[in-house]
Each structure stands twice: as structure tokens, then as C-alpha cells.
Amino acid sequence: MRRLTCFLIWFLLSQTPGFEIPTDGLPEFVDYEDLVELAPGKFGFAPENRRQQRSLSGESEETMGAVDQVTLYSYKVRSTITSRTATTIIESKVVNNSPQPQNVVFDVQIPKGAFITNFSMTVDGTTFRSSIREKTVGKALYSQARAKGKTAGLVRSKALDMENFRTEVNVLPGAKVQFELHYQEAKWRKLGSYEHRLYLQPGRLAKHLEVDVWIIEPQGIRFLHVPDTFDGHFEGVTVVSKGQQKAHVSFKPSVEQQRICPSCLETAVDGELVVLYDVDREKKAGELEVFNGYFVHFFAPESLDPIPKNILFVIDVSGSMWGVKMKQTVEAMKTILDDLRAEDQFSVIDFNHNVRTWRNDLVSATKTQVADAKRYIEKIQPSGGTNINEALLRAIFILNEANNLGLLDPNSVSLIILVSDGDPTVGELKLSKIQKNVKQSIQDNISLFSLGMGFDVDYDFLKRLSNENRGIAQRIYGNQDTSSQLKKFYNQVSTPLLRNVQFNYPHTSVTDVTQNSFPNYFGGSEIVVAGKFDPDKLDEIQSIITATSANTELVLETLAQMDDLEDFLSKDKHADPDFTRKLWAYLTINQLLAERYRSLAPTAATKRKITKKILQMSLEHHVVTPLTAMVIENEAGDERMLADSPPQDYSCCSGALYYGSRVSPDSIPAWANASPTPVVPMPVEGRVLESTPPPHVMRVENDPHFIIYLPKSQSNICFNIDSEPGKILNLVSDPESVGILVNGQLVGAKKPNNGKLSTYFGKLGFYFQKEDTKIEISTKAITMSRRSRTSVLSWSDTVHVVNQSVLISVKKGKAVTIALDKEMSFSVLLHRVWKKHPINVDFLGIYIPPTNKFSPKVHGLIGQFMQEPKIRIFNERPGKDPQKPEASMEVKGQTLTVSRGLQKDYRTDIVFGTDVPCWFVHNSGKGFIDGHYKDYFVPQLYSFLKRP
Amino acid sequence: MIILIYLFALLWEDAEGWGFRNGIFHNSIWLEQAAGVYHREARSGRYKLTYAEAKAVCEFEGGRLATYKQVEAARKIGFHVCAAGWMAKGRVGYPIVKPGPNCGFGKTGIIDYGVRLNRSERWDAYCYNPHAKECGGVFTDPKRIFKSPGFPKEYEDNQICYWHIRLKYGQRIHLSFLNFDLEDDPGCLADYVEIYDSYDDVHGFVGRYCGDVLPDDIISTGNVMTLKFLSDASVTAGGFQIKYVTIDPVSKSSQGKNTSTTSTGNKNFLAGRFSHI
């Protein structure tokens, strides 16, 4: 049925007397002449007005037989996506080769939520251009000078996720028409990809059919896929070229290729061209793009453990669910339950006029429980009425109770998923009262999602219900794939990765920030925030994102330079340098419309204020919204057409999974500022990490050079360890009291230098037994695990995470500081080398202040010196190398020969380091360290040192 | 009957009457509440109510036991329940729209167990309560006037009402506005009435209305129509009264006249006609 309803362009015949349209010869029409005689289009769907017109003109039925000689000369669709901001232009040229005037209809489908920005049309030499006006102004203009024989309009489509733009023009014999439509939209990431759909329905063979999609993503394109949506007909026609940050999809079937079969006159181009892609975000959690006085901030972290969820499925099993709906719901529920994670808690409530529960409390999603719940659901026989009020209140009660009794993991997310097909018929029937009841009893950590089954639901009720309780509603259409729609929706919310996500832009010249506070972030999606700033006052933008993950509090700091993108954008002719402004405007207008839609405005004055803002922005950014209309007029201004937007639902930013709220963009939560240890500077205070490093610390750098500072004798003792790649050395092992472990794994250089293969620390493992926290720092990433939950931090972000008493602070590309209570701290520096360096590899340096409070039993290559051994250095004398004097050192009952040397400390200068003079102990520290260095090998990254 | 509905669906693909849609027999043919009639069972389960208890259940919700006629009227528009229940005057039966092997002995209609002599038999109940909801509902009568909640008083904030008009196949609906006063708002983003020339509020969008200008009459293309009224969180107004009458199937000649006087249906959208402000 959909097929029948979605013709992109209908070329319709009608034998009406031609309206007067000026014709000025045919000089430009030469190239149309050689066009092969194309098929009569599908004209089984002549509009009603044809019948009407026919009866008016008194023509007979015969006119139906007139051969359609309207030919489609060209049909071009061009889309450019720059950082999720898509602009599409549809252009089509048509000529009337018949001896009769013809009605030509340009009818294109555009995605719901897209903003139309421009339309132009040339009818036989007369050009019509569009402008965006306030609706009433547009209407007044229209009534002054209606165009004869032409109409234009935006129509809410019968199709569910799109609407139509339709123009109808009467064309004289021999005349040509050219249409061009522009629209804008934002791409929302869903289930791990962006989807760009173009509806291609030229309705007939086109001499030139060209579709181009250019994608420019500064973050880099991770994958791009063009699924076959034409049943293999156009195999090999679609050409995809993909570079690092740019991609181009081209679809240009020849007339022969367009034919549905070799001798057919019908076109096979009748469907959607879909482009799926995702961007690279392995390196960075947040992407802040700044340009032309606007910034857009994309946030889609992935390497986080899912937050456990407490989920209540509230399923309508009333009589109206009988049949396919129930079957499909049961089928979907079985998969959904199987997808629950072991750490999730759940229950199922089914309701008709009575409310039943599978379990009265939340239970863990173990295999047996899930199996039992599935059996329960399978047995449901729908009947009776619909008591939504009581069902929801029961669900809320169960969650609230569990929360009050402390049965919920404080770091979990609570969700209610309501599946219903109807309006209440039992119990509380007043919809506004149900809304009130739910709002009153629901705790503010619960999100309510609603799925409206079928067409005949009181969907607005479900939408209001969800939107005011931190969720969204979705209509589940049709019958056949109800089950997959349900699953797809569930998959979108099944993986909460963060809670309380807030975006802060502390600088005062940042203004007009879009919604920047979100209750949840779900894996596979993306949060987008945009704003304005004054480029004269700021040349970089700072953002601080605060959020709670499964195991930590997270503070993510990003700095973006004003002109970071300038170079990149100027190099590509398809890149839209205006994308930041467009995306900001798109988000702002949609959010304002949603605010109006969600009926939150408490007073008429507020409403007027929002309306004024929407109107002003729609005019300023030239978009058709419910408050504006597009006036299309000829140059003389004596013929006009009008197109305005059909009302639609702006419930949640047109396709985004989130609706957020606005908070002051510089209101950083208190906990993000509260540093558990003063050693670690916080970014908010504007200090640089380790700007004033404690002068004397224990450190290991380079191919591991150890520098041990002995405070009592105020001297530095150094030694090297030369071992093999892969070996793990214990640095600190303190199993007593708190239980602290630091191990380092060696990596080798790419090849030997002067016959010697250098080794470096490529990976460090920290284990804090009491906190049950393991931190692995490699040259690639920082991974923190607590019990079974893991967060991965990237070296490309400046980020702080607080996990009980452990604070990890990453300074982008430079250093990690780990602080434990106020007692201990460790710093790790990242040494990056040129990627193509023939020998050197990236490595880590570690710094441990001697003030760390270990137990007396602490050991390890560094740990053992926390209990300072008595040393005496005497008999300083010139060495073989005059630069390196020698001396004797008495330590641990032995006398060693040591040489004077210089080692490096890189805390203030990561490239050159600062020199640290020290006494060098030869033979891998033999005599200075307890035993042999090989005694410090441990089997695993988190193994304690076995004491002899 | 199914074939009839199927043909109808094909013919009037825009109208989207209930019945077949997308090749699937649309389920809501089994309305759980129709024409004010609904089915009730005891909290403890099926067939647990005596006649007196059944009466009490209906009265508790502000209604009364439905008469045989009322159940039949509801059945005609899709009320289908596979459970015998008390009706008024001690009658027991149940409404069947689509016969099934386990239900209704393969027959459609009210499966009538007759008037029971023993009033302590335990069955379910069929209640009649046309005014259970503050607004909205399914109308099947040939003509009717319906109003915004509380009319002629002002309507309240945060209202959501859905009206579904379902007439017989072949009939059409002539809608006229008697009173109309909703909060005026450019774009009708505040309070509004929306009208759909279809079974639901997705297809066949006709218009969104607000302000105090009386909208023009509307004639449906099919036998169904959906109207909804939403008010937002602030500012109310006088409300509205809308009347509809049935247009019976007409001969060919007059059909053309109807089409030309009203612009309904999806096929004939004119510029700007979706915003009758």
C-alpha cells in the first residue's frame, strides 16, 4: 500500500483549457529533442480536481486516453552532510512535448522534521523565487496575487516518517519547467549509525538521473554502507568512495539501467536510497567543533560499561490487544527479556481492568527468572478493560519501594516501559488526572517510556505522560513488524551508559546554549549541544561535561580552538562552512517548538515569548516552521504561491532519543569541583597539572631508568634495568593495610639500536585492594575496573573520574594522576614519539612521591626504598670518563662503586626534561636493590610480589 | 463481510476504515469499549459475579448493566468479547464479531443464554456507561453534537480528547462547527482541534484549528473520522460545539457536487489549507 502512496513525482494529464503562461520561444529546448519517447507515467491517480475540472469543461471520458508526452529531462538529488548537518537539493527539469497544455506535479517526499529552506521554479522562462515570511504576512501576500494554474504546498503525508512538498503547474505545449527544492535536517545517531534517506520516485525514465551524497565528517568516517534497497536491480550502479573524513555516494543509472526490464518503459527507480554511516570516536569521547561564532558539541562515548537498570515492563493485555498485537508483543518481549543483562533487575506488570504482576518485587535477570517471566508472558490471554492509571502507579510503587528500602544499586537507572494500545477504559479515566497522579508519585530518577500500539491510540496522552517524566513515547505502527519495532525501540534504551549528563561552558561569552542537561545517555545514540559565542572575545571554547557512569563520576574537559576547522573545511568544496550555525538553529527551533508542544509554558506571556523567538529565528535562518510560510513569486510579483508547514509533533527534537533541559551553562556540579586531594589540580581553577611538581620523587623514565630519592641523605640514586619485552616488573607491592600494587610491563623498541634492544614501560597496572579498583595505564588508553565494571578513558580527553576515594585525572595527551584519599598519589607521563620513528616507541614514565604513606612492609623495586636504607657515599674520585666522577657507596652492608650521572625528569618539560644529577649503580642496581632484579618479575599485571 | 470490508479498504484506501489495513485484519475491530458498553470481570477472575454483584460493579463505576440492545449496538461497531456476562434484566450472553472455534459456536451476533432464573449463577458483567470519560469517545449514531469538556463553561488546561466517528460503510460525515473559541496562537501551538479524514490521527490530516473563527464545514471522504482536542498548560477559552450528520450514499450525479464544494481527502490538497487560522 505504501508503494501506491509514494510517488515522488506524478505527471498528470488533464485536458483543461490552458491557463495563460507567457511563452517565449523554445531556444533552450534543443537538448530535449533527442530524448527518446518515454513511457506514459503512472497516471492512475489523477487528483479529484481532474474529475472536477473535466466536468467543468464538459469534456468526455476520452481525454483519459491522451498520451502523456511530458518528458522528464533531468532529475538530480544532491545531499551534503557536514558534521551531521544535512542539506539536500532536489532538482528536476520537465518538458511538455504534447500539443496540449499539461498539468505537471512536482511532488517530493522529505523526511519529517526537515526544514524547507528554499524553492524555486522556472516555468517557461519565468522564474519564481521563494522567501520565508511570517505566516499571516505570507497569506496576505498570497491572496493579493494568486498564481494562475499553479499551486504549491507542504502536505502532511500519509506515510509515517515523511511529508510531501507538492507543486502543480499547468504547462503549455512545448514549454519546460524546472523545479528546485532545498531542505535541511540533522542526523541523529540511532543504534550506532546515522541514516540518510533519499526518496527517489521520479515516476518515469529520466534522461539524466543523478544522485550524489557527500559526507564530510571531521572526526573521520568509521564505516559507510549503502544497503540494497532496490532488490538488486541497481547492482554496481551505486558507487561509493570513502576516504578518511570524506565520502561520496553516487547513483547515476542510465536510461537503460532505469528500465524495470530491458524493453520496459517503466522506471525501476522507485524507492529509497539509504546511506548508513558512523564516525570515528575511538579516540575521543566528545567532539567540540567551533566555527563562525557557533559551536556544536557531539557526545557519544562508547567504551563504558553499561549501567545496571531496574526495568519494569508494563504491558496492556486488555481485550483490544487481542490477536496479532498481543502475539507480536509476546514475541518481542521474549527477545527483550533475553537481552537483559545479569546485573539488571526487572519485573513484568500486565494489566487490563485488573493489574497483575509477575513478581511483586524487582528480581535479578538470571536465566531462570527470565525463563520464568517468558513463560508467564506466553500464557497471557488478553481480555477486559484498560486501567492505565493503576498499572502505572503499581510500577512506580515497586520502583519507589525498592529504592526506599535500598534494594537498588545507587548507580543504576530505573526505567518503566509502558506498552499500550489504548486509552484508559477502567479506573481513573480522566487523562489529565492520570498524568497528575503519575507525576506526583514518580521519583525523579525514573524514566517513563511509552509505546503506543497501533494507530488508534490516544497517542498524545502517552506522549505527554512520557515527556514529563524523562522519557519519550513512540508509536508502533502496523502489524507485521510490530515485534521488530518494539525490539528496536527497546534496543535504543537497553544500554544506559551515563546518568545526569550535563554540558557546561564556563565562559560568559558563550550564550544561547541548547538543551544541555540530560537524565541519561544510551549507548548507540549521541547527544548534541550547540551554542553561540563571541569570536572577538574568545579564541577557544572550554567545555566541561559531568556525568555518572557505571562506576565513577566523570568530568570531561575539552578545549576547541576557533579556527581548528577552518583549514579542513576550506579544502573541500562540498563542505558546508555554515554547518555550525545551521545545526544550532535547527536544534534551537526544534527545542523551542517542543517546549511549546510539551505544553509546559505556564503563562500566555511565556508562550508569546517562545513564539516570538521561534518566529524570529525562522525568519533569520530562512526555514519553514509552523509560524512561517514560504511565498513563491515571480519577479514581477504579480503571481504568488504559498507553502506552509503542516503542524507536527515536536515532542523530542525530531528524531532524537533525548529531550533534555536547559541549565545554566556554567553551573558545574559541586562534586566535580571537590577534589579529594589537593595534589591534583582541577581544570576549573585553571591550573596546569603538576605546574609545581614536588622537587623530589621516585621516578622511572626512559628505558627504564630508576631514580630513587632518599630524603634523609638528600641524594638521588639511579639504576637501569635491562630486560626483555613482555616481562612484568613489580614496582610497589604493599599487601598490608590498604593493599597497593604497582606493576609495569616492558615493551621493546621497534628494533635494536647499536646492537641493544631497549625496553620501556608500555603498560602500568595499579591495584588498590581495599577499593577493589584496578587501573591499567597503557600508551593507548586508561582502563579502570571496579569489580566487574570497566570504564575506558582516552589519552585524547582531559577527564577526571571520581570513584569513591580514587580519583583519576587525565591531562589530554600528557599525564595521568591517580590520587588515593589524601594519602597517596602517583603520576604517569606519556611519552609519544613520532609514529614512523624507526626505533623508538611510545612509553610511560612513573613518579611516586616519597610522602606516600605505605606500610612498613612495602616492597618492590621502588617500594623498598620507602623505608630509607642507610647509605654513605665517600671517596669521590675522577672516573674513567672525566664527565662522570666515581665514588664508593656503602649500603646494606656492601660497598658499591657508583658513577655520577644525569637523569631526566620530564614533569615540567615533556620533551627535553630537566636534568637530575644522581649516583648511578651499575649492574641493574645490584647491591642497592634487595636481591637480583629478576626477583621482581611477576606473572600478571596485578600479581603481588612474592616475598622470599 | 470480510470481503466487503476488504473491497472497501481497497476502494477507499485513503479513508482507512477499520478492517483490513496493510493486508492485515486490523485488530481494533475488537473494541474493548464501544458505544458506552464494556465488559467487566471480578478482580478474582472470570465468572465470579452474581447478578447482584455484577450490578454493583457497574454502578460502582457510575454506570449500569447494559441492555441487550446496547450490547448489540456496541457489537455492531466491533465490540467483541469471548466471555458470558450479565446484562440488564438478568440476561446473560456475549457479543461476537468474528466467529472462532472456541467462541460463539461459529456464529456472530450476541450469543444469548437467555434470561437466567438463577440469579446467583456466576458470570461476568456488561456495563453501560456512556459518560465515563470526561470527553471523547466512539460515536456511531447517525448524528450528534459533541462539545469540549465542560462546555458551555471554559475547558480546562491539559485536556486530551479523541473522538472517533464511525458510520456505516458508504455513508459520509458532514461536520459543522456550532461554536468555536480556543486560545488563539499563531501556528496553533497552544490549544487546538485537529481533524482527520481517517480512522486514526496519522492519515488524512484535514486541518488544525484554533482561535475564535468558525471553521468551514467538512465532509469526509469515507465513513470514519477522527477528531482530537488538546489544551496546553495555560490559558483556556470558551470551547466548542461540533455537530455531525450522516450523508447517505448518493447517486453519481450528486457525488460530483459534493466533491466540488468541499475539499476533503488527501488527494486534493491546496496550498495553505492545513492551517485554518
Q: What CATH number should be reported for the domain holding residue A468? A: 3.40.50.410
d(CA A392, CA A418): 8
pLDDT digits (tens, 9 = 90+) for A127-150: 999 999 998 898 888 888 887 777
Q: How far is A656 from chain B (nearest CA, A)?
A: 20
Q: Residue A605 forms beta bridges with which residues?
A: none
Counting residues of chain A whose pLDDT is more than 90, the rounded percentage is 36
> In this predicted structure, what is the pLDDT of residue A70?
85
> In this predicted structure, what is the pLDDT of residue A684?
33
pLDDT at residue A398 tops 90: yes
Question: Per mean pLDDT, which range of A605-614, A878-887, B266-275 is the poorest?
Answer: B266-275
pLDDT at residue A573 tops 90: no
Taking the CA atoms of A597, A603, A608 and A610 in sequence, report the sign of the dihedral they define: negative
Q: What is the distance of C-alpha A366 from the center of its chain?
A: 31
Beta-strand relationship, A527-533 and A510-511: antiparallel
List CB contacts (< 8 A) between B187 and chain A.
135, 611, 625-627, 647
A178 contacts A104 by C-beta, under 8 angstroms: no
Average pLDDT over residues A554-558: 85
Strand order across the beta sheet in which A221-225 lies: A194-200, A271-279, A221-225
In a domain, A81, yes or no: no
d(CA B264, CA B205): 9
Examine the fold and report which residue of A464, A494, A524 is the final residue of a domain before the chain moves on.
Answer: A494
Give the model's confidence band at B104: pLDDT under 50 very low, under 70 low, under 90 confident, else very high. Answer: confident
> In this predicted structure, what is the pLDDT of residue A892?
85
Give the model's confidence band at A79: pLDDT under 50 very low, under 70 low, under 90 confident, else very high. Answer: very high
pLDDT at residue A22 tops 50: no
Which helix (H) or strand (E) segment is A370 a member of?
helix A367-378
A943: helix, coil or strand? coil
Average pLDDT over residues A26-42: 34
d(CA A771, CA A805): 8
**Nearest CB to B41 within list A158, A384, A629:** A384
> In this predicted structure, what is the pLDDT of residue B270?
29
List CB contacts (< 8 A) between B230 and chain A.
460, 599
Q: How far is A163 from chain B (nearest CA, A)?
A: 11
- The residue that leads in pLDDT, B18 or A859, is A859
Q: Residue A21 forms beta bridges with which residues?
A: none
C-alpha cell at A79: 545531499
pLDDT digits (tens, 9 = 90+) for A98-109: 888 888 888 888
Interface-testing mutation among B8, B28, B197, with chain A (most A C-beta atoms within 10 A): B28
Q: How far is B116 from chain A (nearest CA, A)?
A: 23
List CB contacts (< 8 A) between B266 and chain A.
155, 158
Q: Phi/psi zone of residue A454: left (φ > 0), alpha (ψ -120 to 50 degrees), beta? A: left
Average pLDDT over residues B244-261: 61
pLDDT at residue A67 tops 80: no
Is A599 close to B158, i.e. CB distance below 8 A?
yes
Average pLDDT over residues A61-88: 78
Give the model's confidence band at A948: pLDDT under 50 very low, under 70 low, under 90 confident, else very high. Answer: low
Is A384 close to B40, i.e. CB distance below 8 A?
yes
Pick from A176, A198, A174, A195: which is nearest to A186 by CA?
A: A195
> In this predicted structure, what is the pLDDT of residue B3?
43
Average pLDDT over residues A650-657: 49
Q: Residue A280 to residues A196, A496, A525, A590, A621: CA-CA distances in angstroms?
A: 17, 20, 14, 27, 30
C-alpha cell at A465: 505522560
pLDDT digits (tens, 9 = 90+) for B146-170: 999 988 999 998 888 999 888 888 8
Q: Residue A690 to residues A673, A796, A797, A908: CA-CA distances in angstroms?
A: 17, 18, 17, 7
Q: How far is B178 from chain A (nearest CA, A)?
A: 24
In a domain, A833, yes or no: yes
d(CA A365, CA A347): 9
Q: What is the ipTM of this complex?
A: 0.74
Is A320 close to B24, i.e. CB distance below 8 A?
no
B152 preceded by a cis bond (ω within 30 of 0) = yes
Average pLDDT over residues A519-534: 92
Average pLDDT over residues A556-568: 77
Nearest CA in chain B to A150: B271
Q: What is the distance of C-alpha A155 from the center of its chain?
A: 31
Question: Which residue in the block uniquely carries the three cell numbers 627504564?
Answer: A704
d(CA B185, CA A601): 13
Examine the fold and report which residue of A460, A494, A528 is the final residue of a domain before the chain moves on.
Answer: A494
Average pLDDT over residues A265-275: 91
d(CA B13, CA A801): 58
Pick from A878, A874, A877, A889: which is nearest to A920 by CA?
A: A889
A914: helix, coil or strand? strand
A169: helix, coil or strand? strand
Strand order across the beta sheet in which B218-219 lies: B143-147, B239-247, B172-181, B218-219
In a domain, A410, yes or no: yes
Is B189 close to A136, i.e. CB distance below 8 A?
no
Q: What is the pTM of this model?
A: 0.78
pLDDT digits (tens, 9 = 90+) for A180-218: 999 999 999 999 999 999 999 898 899 999 999 999 998
Question: Per mean pLDDT, which range of A197-201, A530-534, A552-556 is the poorest?
Answer: A552-556
**Up-side HSE of residue B45: CA atoms within 13 Å toward CB?**
1
List CB contacts (< 8 A) between A45 and chain B.
267
pLDDT digits (tens, 9 = 90+) for A703-732: 888 999 888 888 889 999 888 899 999 999
Give the model's confidence band at A156: pLDDT under 50 very low, under 70 low, under 90 confident, else very high. Answer: low
pLDDT at residue A565 tops 80: no
Is B235 close to A4, i.e. CB distance below 8 A?
no
d(CA A819, CA A862): 18
Q: Residues with Cβ < 8 Å from A935, sequence gap 6 or more?
A: A948
Q: Residue A858 to residues A193, A680, A852: CA-CA distances in angstroms?
A: 50, 24, 11
In a domain, A567, yes or no: no
Question: Which residue in the block uniquely carries the three cell numbers 504546498?
Answer: A153
Looking at every residue in chain A, the average pLDDT score rounds to 82
Q: What is the DSSP string of A699-768?
A: EEETTTEEEEEETTTTEEEEEE----TT-EEEEEEE-STT-EEEEEEEEE-SS-BTTB--EEEEEEEEEE
Is B188 close to A647, i.e. CB distance below 8 A?
yes
Beta-strand relationship, A206-216 and A70-82: parallel
d(CA A618, CA A7): 29
Q: How far is B105 from chain A (nearest CA, A)?
A: 19
Q: How far is A265 from chain B (nearest CA, A)?
A: 26
pLDDT at residue A292 tops 60: yes
pLDDT digits (tens, 9 = 90+) for A306-345: 999 999 999 999 877 877 788 889 999 999 999 999 999 9
Average pLDDT over residues B242-246: 95
In a domain, A299, yes or no: no
Nearest CA in chain B to A45: B267
Query: What is the extent of the structural domain holding A896?
Result: 705-936
List CB contacts (< 8 A) between A429 and chain B.
132-134
In a domain, A577, yes or no: no
pLDDT at residue A371 tops 70: yes
**Up-side HSE of residue A885: CA atoms within 13 Å toward CB?**
11
> In this predicted structure, what is the pLDDT of residue A669?
55
**Nearest CB to A385 within list B21, B38, B265:** B38
Looking at every residue in chain B, the average pLDDT score rounds to 77
Is A319 close to B133, i.e. CB distance below 8 A?
no
**Nearest CB to B274 within list A156, A321, A603:** A156
pLDDT at residue A687 tops 60: no
- The residue that leads in pLDDT, A578 or A149, is A578
Average pLDDT over residues B31-37: 73
**Up-side HSE of residue A651: CA atoms within 13 Å toward CB?**
21
Question: Per mean pLDDT, which range of A84-93, A739-748, A795-804 is the poorest?
Answer: A795-804
**Nearest CB to A319 within list B16, B32, B162:** B32
In chain B, the domains with their CATH numbers are: 33-128 (3.10.100.10), 137-247 (2.60.120.290)
C-alpha cell at A379: 500464557
> In this predicted structure, what is the pLDDT of residue A596?
80
In a domain, A120, yes or no: no
In a domain, A765, yes or no: yes
> In this predicted structure, what is the pLDDT of residue A441?
94
Number of structural domains, chain A? 2
Give the model's confidence band at B7: pLDDT under 50 very low, under 70 low, under 90 confident, else very high. Answer: very low
